[in-house]
Structure 1
Amino acid sequence: MTDDNNPEDDFQEMLRRMLGGEGGPGMGGIDFEQLKNMGIHVDPAQLQQMMGALQGAFNAPGDGTISWDATRTGALHIANRDDRGVTAGQHTELDQAFHLADLWLSEVTTLPPLPQPARVLTRGQWVEETLPVWQELAEPVATSIADALTEAMREQAPEDMQDFVQSAGKMLRQVGGSLFAAQLGQVIGKLSLETVSGGDVGIPVMPAGTAAILPQNFADLGHGLEIPEDQLALFFAARELAHARLFRHAKWLRLHVMSQVTDYARGISVDTAALEDLASRFDPSEPAELQNALSSGALLPQQSEAQEQALARLENMLALIEGWVDVVTAEATARVPSLDRIAEATRRRRATGGPAEDALAALVGLKLRPRRLREAAAMWRAISDAVGTEARDALWDYPDLAPTAEDIDDPAGLIARLEAAARGEEAPRDEMDEALDQLLAEADGPDDAGQDEGPRPV
C-alpha cells in the first residue's frame, strides 16, 4: 500500500469485490459445485440471503445501526417455502372448535371472552405478526456482539492500522449485526414450522388479546398421536383462548414478562477471548465461521449470577402463566374423551421443545420453557379447590396479587390468606408481615414515641 492510498478506500474496495460477487461463479465468489464436491452442502438461497445481508450492511448509512431486513427476509423464505396456506375446510373446522371452546371456558373462568374472533394463520403470517417481539428480544444481544466484534478487531490490528480499523468501525459493526440478524431470521423461520398457536412459544409473541392457530403445524402435530383431530382442535383452541384471555385481562402481564426477558438479554456479555480469536481470522467474504459461532452459542459465556436470578424470576412467572392455562384448559375440556392423552403429549412436547427452540436458546442465551410447570399447576388446582374460580382468577388483577415463587413451593399460606379474606377476616400474619412491621417501627424512630402524650405547651 502506498502513501497516496486511503486505507479506508482500500478496505471498502476489498469488501466491494468480496461482497459484490466478483471473482467466482457463485454469490460472493463462492463456487457451490466445488463446495458440494468437498462434501459441504450449502443451501444457495439461504447463503445468498446471508451475503445479501452483508451487502446491505456495506451499503447502509454509516450510522452504526443494525438493519433487521435480513431477519424478515430469511424467516419468510423458510416459512413460505412449504406453506400450503389455509383451506376453507380448515377455517370452518377451527372456527367451530374456537366457538365451542369459548363457551366451555366461560364455565370455568371469570376472565372475559375476547372481543375479536380467534385467527387462523399461515406460517408466513405468523412470522409477520411476531417479528417485532423477536427483534425486541434479540436486539440487546445483537448490539453486544456487533460492538464486541468491532472492538476485538480493533485490538487485533497493529498500531499502524488503527486509523484504518477506526474509519471502518461502523461498517464492521453493521456487518456483525447483519450476520446476527440473518441468523435470527433462520431461527424464526424454523420456529414457524413448529409452533402450533400464538401462545405456544411461552412468551407473548402475538398482540395482546389475540388468539391464533397455525392449521398446517396443527395437522402435522396430530399425525403421530392417533387422536381424533376434532378432539385435538378443541383442546388447542381452549388452550389458546385461555392464554389470550389471561393476557387481555391482566394488562400488566405482557409488559412484565417482556421486561424480564429484555432485562435478562441486556445482561448478556460476549466471550471476548472467543471473539478475539474469531476476529483474528474473520474474512467477510466467508462468514460461515462467524455464523456457526452465533448459532452454536459459542460467543455467549456462562450466565452471571444476576442473569441466573433474572432467569429464575422469569421461569417462575412463565410457570405461573402456563400452570394457570393448563388447569383452566383441563377444566374446560373435561368432556373431551382423549383429554389425558392430549394433555400428557402437550406436556412432553413443551418439556423437550424442538430444534428451533434449541437454536433460539443458543443464539440469544435464553430457553423459554418453565421448569416448575407441574408445581405451579398443582398450586392453581389447590387454590381452585379451596376458594373457587373467582378468587383464583382475581389473583391476576394486579401484579402485587400474583403468587410468588414461595407460594408455588407451599400454597398453604396463600390459601389461608384467601380463605380469611373470603370470610371477611384479617389475613393470618406471616414472617413477611412481622419483618415489615419491624422495618416501619425502625423508620419511625424515637421521635414518634411520645405522639400520644397530648399537645406540647406553646
Structure 2
Amino acid sequence: MADTPPSNRSDGSEEPDDSGKKDPFAEMFSGLFGGATPPGFDPKNLPEGFGAAMGLPTDPEALAAIFRQAQAMMGAMASGGGEPVNWKLARDAARQAAAGDDPSITPARSGAVADAGRLADLWLDQSTVFTSDGSACAALSRAEWVEKTLPLWKTLTEPVAVSVGQAITSVLRDQMPEQMRPMLGGAEGLFQNLGGAMFGMQLGTAVGGLAKDVLGATDIGLPLAGPSPALVPANVAAFGAGLDVPEQEVLLFAALREAAHTRLFLRVPWLRAHVVGLVEEYARGIHIDISRIEEAVRDIDPMNPESFQGAITEGLFAPQRTAAQEAALAKLETALALIEGWVDEVVAAAARNLPSAAALRETIRRRRATGGPAEQAFASLVGLELRPRRLREAAAFWALMLQERDVEGRDAIWDHPDLMPTAEDLDDPAGFGARRALAEASDDELDAALGKLLAGGFGPSTGASADGETGDGGDSTDGSDGSDGSDGTDTGGGPKGKA
C-alpha cells in the first residue's frame, strides 16, 4: 500500500510526522477535531441544529475556530513543560485575539508617529524637569504590541498562575477517594499542564483584547513594552474616530502622554520596580477559595460548553482577596493614581496651546477611570484592576504641589520611595508639606544622633559641661559639643543638637 502523504490542517500548515510518539489526548482530539489519522471531519457537515443544541456557534467558521482552539489546548496539555502558564499558548491566543483589522505599519505612519513624538518632547521640556533620552516614538501594530509586552505580563501574572494551578490540583486530589489517590501519581503533571494551558489561553485572550484598545505602551501605568515610547496608530485612530477632534491633535496628545510616562519611569528608576513589587506583594498573599472552585465545578454541565466558559469568565479561577491583599492593592492604587495624576498635570501644561487639549484630557480621564472590557477581563482573571481610581484627586495634589513648590520642587517629590505621597496626602493635599517636613526633620535628627554615636559622643566618658549640665561628649577644653576639638566649631547641630 502506498504511503499516505501528510495531510494539511485547517489553517493550511502540514501535520508533522510524529507517529512514533503519539500522545493519547492529542490523538483523540486529532480524530475529533481534524488531523492526519483518522481523517477528522468538516464542521460544515455537522447535522443541522447540532451546534445550537450543544450551545455552540451556528457559523461554521466560528465553530471551526473553536475546534482548532480545543485541539491546541489539548496538544498544549501534553507539552506544558510543567510551567505555571503555558506561554506559547498565551502568545498564540493573544495574537489571535489581536488579529483582524491590524494594518501593517507603513513608513508614512511610522514617520507621523515619530514626528509627533519629537514635538511632544519639545513641549514637555517646558513642563517638567525630567528630560528625554532622545529615543524616537515607535509605531507598533497590535501584534507587535503583544510581542513586546508579554515579558512584563509574565512578571505580573505568573505568581497568580502558580496559586491557581496548585488550587486546581488540590481540588482534584481532595475529591478523589482515598484508595484511589495513589493512582493519581504522574497525572498531577497533566493536571498542572491543564491549569497552565487554561490560564495561558485566558491570559492571552485578555492581552489580545488590550492590544486592540491601548493607545501606547504605558496605558496601564507601567512601561509595558520597554523603556522607549511607543504608540499603536490603529488604536489611536479608532479612539479619535468618535471625537470631533482633528486626527493630528489626537495623535499629538497621545504622544504627549506616552512621552511623559516614559520620562517619569526613566528619571525615577525605582518606580517600575516599586509598582511591580506591589503586584508581587499582592500575589504572595493569594488565597484561593477552594470551596468556590468545587461549587463551580459541580455546576458545570459537560454537555453544555457554555457552562464551562461561563464559569471561567465569571472568575472561577480568580483569587479571593485577603486583608493583606487589600492592603497591597490600596498601595498599588495610590501608586498608579500618583503616576497618572502627574502625567495628567504635566501633559495639560505642555498641551495648553493645543485647541482640543481640555476635551481630550477629560476623555482620557474617564477612559482610565472606568476601564474597558479588556481591562475588566484581565481583572477577572488575576484579581487585579490596574487602573487609577483616584486619578482626579492625584491630579489635584500635583497641581497644588506646582503652586507651592514650582516645577523643580514638584518633581523632586519623586526622589525617594520612602517619602512618596500616601492615600492620606491625596485626601488632604494641603497638609502634605507639614507631614513631609516632620518626616524629614525626624530623619535629620536620627542622622545627627547616629553621627554622634559613631564619633563616640554618647560614650561612657561623658562628663560635666562648663555650665554644670551633663555634657554630650565634647572636649571640655574648648567647650564644643561634639566637635573634634580642633577649632571649637559645632559639628553636631549647635543648640539644636543639645535640645
Q: TM-score, normalised by structure 1?
A: 0.83
Give distance in 2, aligned partners of 1:31 and 1:159.
43
Residues 1-400 of structure 1: pairs in structure 2 closer than 5 A = 15-16=25-26, 18-22=28-32, 25=41, 34-36=50-52, 38-41=54-57, 44-61=64-81, 63=82, 66-208=85-227, 210-279=228-297, 289-300=307-318, 302-400=320-418
Q: CA deviation at 1:156?
A: 1.2
CA 98–59 in structure 1, closer or farther in 2 if over 3 Å, else same: closer
Q: Deviations over 1:173-222 (max 9, x none)?
A: 111111111111111111111111111123331213x1111000000001
Q: Is the 8 A contact 2:139 2:232 kept in 1?
A: yes
> Unpaired segments of 5 or more residues in structure 1?
1-11, 419-426
Cα RMSD for the two superposed structures: 3.2
Q: Is the 8 A contact 1:295 1:359 kept in 2?
A: yes
Percentage of identical aligned residues? 40
Q: CA deviation at 1:49?
A: 2.8
Alignment partner of 1:453 is 2:463: yes
Q: Read off the aligned partner of 1:385 and give its amino acid letter.
A: Q
Q: Read off the aligned partner of 1:40 and give its amino acid letter.
A: L
Q: Deviations over 1:332-366 (max 9, x none)?
A: 00000111111111111111211101100000001
Give distance in 1, aligned partners of 2:291 and 2:142.
39
| Mean Cα deviation higher: 15-24 or 156-165 | 15-24
CA 109–72 in structure 1, closer or farther in 2 if over 3 Å, else same: same
Matched residues, number: 425
> Which structure shows the bigger proportion of residues in helix conformation?
1
Query: RCO greater where, 1 or 2, for CA within 8 Å and sep 6 or more?
Result: 1
Q: Is the 8 A contact 2:317 2:381 kept in 1?
A: no
CA 397–104 in structure 1, closer or farther in 2 if over 3 Å, else same: same
Q: Is the 8 A contact 1:247 1:253 kept in 2?
A: yes
Give distance in 1, aligned partners of 2:157 and 2:287.
13
Give distance in 1, aligned partners of 2:162 and 2:435.
46
Q: Is the 8 A contact 2:84 2:195 kept in 1?
A: no
SS in 2 for 1:86: coil
Q: Deviations over 1:113-164 (max 9, x none)?
A: 1232111110001000000111222212222121111111111112332122
SS in 1 for 2:311: helix
Q: Is the 8 A contact 1:54 1:179 kept in 2?
A: no
Q: Is the 8 A contact 1:105 1:238 kept in 2?
A: yes
Give distance in 2, aligned partners of 1:71 and 1:32.
33
SS in 2 for 1:395: helix
In the other structure, the counterpart of 2:421 is 403
Q: CA deviation at 1:65?
A: 5.1
Q: Is the 8 A contact 1:46 1:74 kept in 2?
A: no
Q: CA deviation at 1:269?
A: 2.2
Q: CA deviation at 1:417?
A: 7.7
Give distance in 2, aligned partners of 1:317 and 1:53.
37
Q: CA deviation at 1:33?
A: 7.2
Give distance in 2, aligned partners of 1:167 and 1:26.
35
CA 158–408 in structure 1, closer or farther in 2 if over 3 Å, else same: same
CA 47–217 in structure 1, closer or farther in 2 if over 3 Å, else same: farther
Give distance in 2, aligned partners of 1:92 and 1:337.
23
Give distance in 1, aligned partners of 2:48 and 2:236.
36
CA 297–65 in structure 1, closer or farther in 2 if over 3 Å, else same: closer
Q: Is the 8 A contact 1:154 1:166 kept in 2?
A: no
Q: Read off the aligned partner of 2:398 and give its amino acid letter.
A: W
Q: Read off the aligned partner of 1:193 and give its amino acid letter.
A: K
Q: Is the 8 A contact 1:153 1:279 kept in 2?
A: no
Q: CA deviation at 1:50?
A: 4.3
Q: Is the 8 A contact 1:203 1:368 kept in 2?
A: no
